[in-house]
Amino acid sequence: MLIATWNINGVRARIDALTAWLTERSPDIVCLQEIKSLDDGFPRQAVEALGYHVETHGQKGFNGVALLSKVAPDNGSVSRGLPGDESDEQSRFIEACWTVNGQRVRVASLYLPNGNPLGTEKFTYKLSWMQRLEAHAIARLSDEDALILAGDYNVIPEPEDCRNPAAWLGDALYQPESRAAYRRLLNLGLLDAVRATTAAGEVYTFWDYQAGAWQKNNGIRIDHLLLSPEAASRLGSVGIDKHVRGWEKPSDHVPVVIDLML
DNA sequence: ATGCCGGGTGGAACCCGA
């Protein structure tokens, strides 16, 4: 089964690209980020017409995540919001379970805070959010289900994950603290699906709209799927749908897709 | 380039993103 993540940068502005990509790729489960829409504003009908079930965790104007799936999640398994801070009102996390051939699969769609500029509460919010994510991952890993934490992590893990590392030295995406927090997730036993399956350089998932970043392939790899051991042992192919960045009115991120052999 | 582009809100100019 195909499981994908895509920061769509506004689902209403991107509905034509979304339906075209769903038709072309036919993924089984899709994690969307930055839907920039309330639950009621999600263009549900266009997606349902293609046979997808829709679960949203929306927010007015910013953020917002969703799960699309050909089969509805298991009853009562959808959960919204990242545990650990009841006062956090930003919609950045939704997860659900599916039972596939007797195997339970838990999939989360997450939109990790950007964290810029440094030295502000935005960066401390990013780090505290990553700490909450780590605690949640520890709790979920103890279930020993196939677990997939997919989304826009807003972290450039290593120098080879960007064209020009020097340009990112002062950026929250490439801070030692951000990268260390991401590494702590890997150290729990989670596998970075893209990095585990390619030795190629210049593997990116985001290209800025500005300064011809796409044309110059000045990209970064910040959209990740992290897999528990139970999921990693069933990992097939991994793909980045780079061509979608060249479409009309594209998102600045492209879909990342894994094949889970269940 | 301390936002060059682009989506969102709200109805102009400003917020936000990476």
Structural tokens at position A170? 């002062």
Tens digits of residue pLDDT in A108-166: 999 999 999 999 999 999 999 999 999 999 999 999 999 999 999 999 999 999 999 99
Predicted pLDDT of residue A199: 84
Q: In what order do the strands lie in the sheet with A65-69?
A: A53-57, A65-69, A29-33, A2-7, A256-260, A235-240
Which protein residues have a C-beta closer than 7 A to any atom of strand B?
A 7, 9-13, 34, 36-38, 41, 60-62, 113-114, 116-117, 122, 152, 154, 171, 173, 206, 208-211, 220, 222, 249, 252
Rounded, the Å distance between the CA of A48 and C1' of B12 is 37
Give pLDDT tens digits for A20-79. Answer: 999 999 999 999 999 999 999 999 999 999 999 999 999 999 999 999 999 999 999 999
Taking the C1' atom of B1, which residue's CA lies nearest? A211
What is d(CA A144, CA A141) in angstroms, rounded to the nearest whole number?
A: 5
Look-up of token digits 């939109």? A111
pLDDT tens digit sequence for A174-183: 999 999 999 9
How are beta strands A29-33 and A65-69 bridged, if at all? antiparallel
- Length of chain A, in residues: 262
Any catalytic annotation for residue A152? yes
State the nucleotide closest to A38 in CA–C1' terms: B8
The catalytic residue among A28, A52, A88, A111 is A111
SS3 A184: helix
Report yes or no: A153 and A108 within 8 Å, Cβ to Cβ.
no
* Domains of chain A with CATH codes: 2-260 (3.60.10.10)
| Percent of chain A whose pLDDT exceeds 90 | 99
Helices (H), A94-172: 121-141
Region of A245 please: left (phi>0), alpha (psi -120 to 50) or beta: alpha
User: Which residue has tokens 């729990």?
Assistant: A188
